[in-house]
Amino acid sequence: MNKALFLDRDGTLIEHEPYLHKPEAVVLLPGTTEALSQAMSAGYLLFLFTNQSGVGRGYFKLEDVQRVNARLIEMLGLGPDVFTETCVAPEPPGAPSLYRKPSPRFIQEMITKYDLLPAHSWMVGDSPSDWAAGAGAGIRVAAVQSYPPEKAPPHGQATPPDPLFPSLLDFVRSKLPCGSSAP
Ligand SMILES: [Mg+2]
């Protein structure tokens, strides 16, 4: 069986910019490349899982999201196939939703398709919808919050998983077997 990281994009891999749709505006968060590199070395498949309601709201097109994702992949420098699969959920909140987090559907489909072991797979993100999607699919959940609390998305009724990692790299070093560069 395989193990995987499901990764939120905005606020987890790159700086959160509301309705980001310009490739030149992509800014990697510190340590993202190292974190993903270590996770790959530790044998994790990586999946990108991002809600992009700006598509459903008509603010920009799916092609814009794909250009932003391509820029992210280019900036990572870990090869064109760094993500095994990518799910862009374009639905606006409140619309009938197939894949929009907190729906666990994408994760569930990937568990079946890639024979993933839920107990060794993680959803990592900065929002309650990320944590709920992971929990709904029965995988492990981690919260990263790379920005000051006052800039955090509202948690609403959700309690962030404990601990709240200051970066993806802190999560990888702390939680992934062989994911640490320490001897
Ligand atoms: Mg996010």
- Please write the tens of the pLDDT for every residue from 40-85: 999 999 999 999 999 999 999 999 999 999 999 999 999 999 999 9
Give residue 149's pLDDT. Answer: 67
- Determine the CATH number of domain 3-175: 3.40.50.1000
Q: Mark the residues whose beta carbon lies below 5 A from ion ligand 1.
A: 8, 10-11, 126-127
Selecting among 10, 64, 126, 130, the annotated active-site residue is 10
Task: Find which of 91-100, 154-163, 172-181 is predicted with most confidence, using mean pLDDT.
Answer: 91-100
**Is cis: bond before 102, omega within 30 of 0?**
yes
Q: How far is the CA of 127 from the centre of ligand 1 (A)?
A: 5
Q: How far is the CA of 50 from the centre of ligand 1 (A)?
A: 8
Selecting among 8, 64, 126, 130, the annotated active-site residue is 8
CA distance 47 to 68: 16
Cα separations (Å) of 78 from 39, 51, 124?
12, 23, 19
Q: Tell whether the model's pLDDT for residue 126 goes beyond 50.
A: yes
Cα separations (Å) of 33 from 27, 79, 153, 172, 179?
12, 11, 24, 11, 13
- What are the residue ranges of helices labelled H in the chain? 32-41, 53-56, 62-76, 105-113, 128-137, 168-175
Q: How far is the CA of 176 from the centre of ligand 1 (A)?
A: 21
Give residue 179's pLDDT. Answer: 47
Q: Span 4-15, mean pLDDT? A: 97
**Is cis: bond before 92, omega within 30 of 0?**
no
Q: Are 167 and 31 in contact (CB under 8 A)?
A: yes
Give residue 183's pLDDT. Answer: 41
Q: Tell whether the model's pLDDT for residue 181 goes beyond 50.
A: no
Give residue 182's pLDDT. Answer: 44
Beta bridge partners of 40: none
Q: Can you tell me whether residue 113 is helix, strand or coil?
A: helix
Q: How far is the CA of 80 from the centre of ligand 1 (A)?
A: 22
Give residue 160's pLDDT. Answer: 79
Q: How far is the CA of 10 from the centre of ligand 1 (A)?
A: 4
Catalytic (active site) residue 170: no
Give residue 125's pLDDT. Answer: 97
Q: Which helix (H) or strand (E) holds 48?
A: strand 44-51
Catalytic (active site) residue 10: yes
